């Protein structure tokens, strides 16, 4: 991972145009080519970013980052304050808690609990940014990416969006839709999921284990 703290400006050219005026920011370049520009605030979300794969041309005083769609980030370095590179090695990935991991296993065994007619293609479907919990096909043969959480919040919805973005890079899969599944989906996550065009589903863990007979709540 390459880390650069610099006084810089950033211009995005793609589906729209955006400009970050001069300021000191952290620029992160990950081993897979993902580029993210952070301010000293705003929690985890970068001010601007370009998901891998990218082509990065370092011209010294400015970088040109281009993705396969032709979108570009132009990072103009006015003053480099600090620069470092670190080899992080392979990451073992997020370790889910017992309930969440078991919930994923139960849903993989009974994808109909998520949606009638759903058929499992693969559990822990690999992508460059991590495995997707479940990848299925529906009754019409469309690919469905499923993210499973114990408690569903907006971070989980964003994670599902990133996974679907990766799947869309594989033209052989066709159109991919998303389903966000949790025992409880928070109101903000419901709104965001619907805005992104995803379905959300609340499931009963005990029912999936065969301890209850109540119907699942599907939306």
65 and 7: one domain? yes
Domain hosting residue 106, numbered range: 98-218
pLDDT tens-place string over residues 75-106? 999 999 999 998 888 776 655 555 788 899 99
Strand 199-202 relative to strand 176-185: parallel, antiparallel, unpaired?
parallel
pLDDT at 216: 43
**What's the chain's average pLDDT?**
89
For residues 145-153, average pLDDT: 93
Report whether pLDDT(175) > 60: yes
pLDDT tens-place string over residues 47-58? 998 888 899 999
Please say whether the beta carbons of 152 and 189 come within 8 A: yes
Beta bridge partners of 35: 29, 50
Query: Residue 102 burial by CB count (10 A; 0-12/13-18/19+): exposed, middle or buried?
Result: middle
Structural domain contains residue 28: yes
Query: Measured on CA atoms in the order 94, 183, 106, 99, is the torsion positive or negative?
Result: positive
Structural domain contains residue 91: no
Where among 38, 62, 85 does a domain terminate? 85
Structural domain contains residue 193: yes
pLDDT at 23: 96
56 and 114: one domain? no
104 and 60: one domain? no
SS3 38: strand
Please give the tally of structural domains in the chain. Answer: 2
Structural domain contains residue 175: yes
d(CA 189, CA 178): 13
Q: Name the least confident of 34-38, 188-192, 211-215.
A: 211-215
Structural domain contains residue 150: yes
């Amino acid at each position: 991972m390459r880390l650069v703290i610099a006084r810089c400006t950033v211009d995005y050219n793609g589906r729209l145009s955006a400009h970050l005026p001069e300021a000191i920011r952290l620029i992160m370049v990950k081993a897979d080519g993902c580029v993210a520009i952070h301010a000293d605030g705003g929690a985890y979300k970068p001010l601007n970013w370009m998901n891998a794969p990218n082509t990065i041309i370092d011209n010294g005083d400015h970088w040109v980052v281009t993705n396969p769609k032709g979108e570009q980030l132009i990072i103009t370095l006015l003053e480099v304050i600090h620069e470092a590179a670190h080899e992080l090695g392979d990451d073992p990935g997020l370790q889910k808690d017992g309930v969440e991991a078991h919930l994923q296993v139960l849903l993989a065994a009974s994808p109909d609990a998520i949606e009638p007619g759903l058929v499992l293609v693969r559990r822990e479907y690999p992508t460059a940014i991590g495995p997707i919990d479940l990848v299925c096909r529906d009754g019409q043969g469309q690919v469905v990416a499923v993210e499973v959480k114990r408690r569903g919040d907006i971070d989980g919805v964003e994670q599902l969006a990133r996974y679907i973005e990766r799947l869309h890079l594989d033209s052989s899969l066709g159109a991919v839709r998303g389903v966000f599944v949790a025992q409880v989906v928070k109101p903000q996550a419901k709104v965001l999921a619907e805005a992104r065009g995803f379905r959300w589903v609340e499931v009963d863990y005990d029912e999936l284990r065969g301890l209850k007979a109540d119907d699942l709540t599907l939306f």
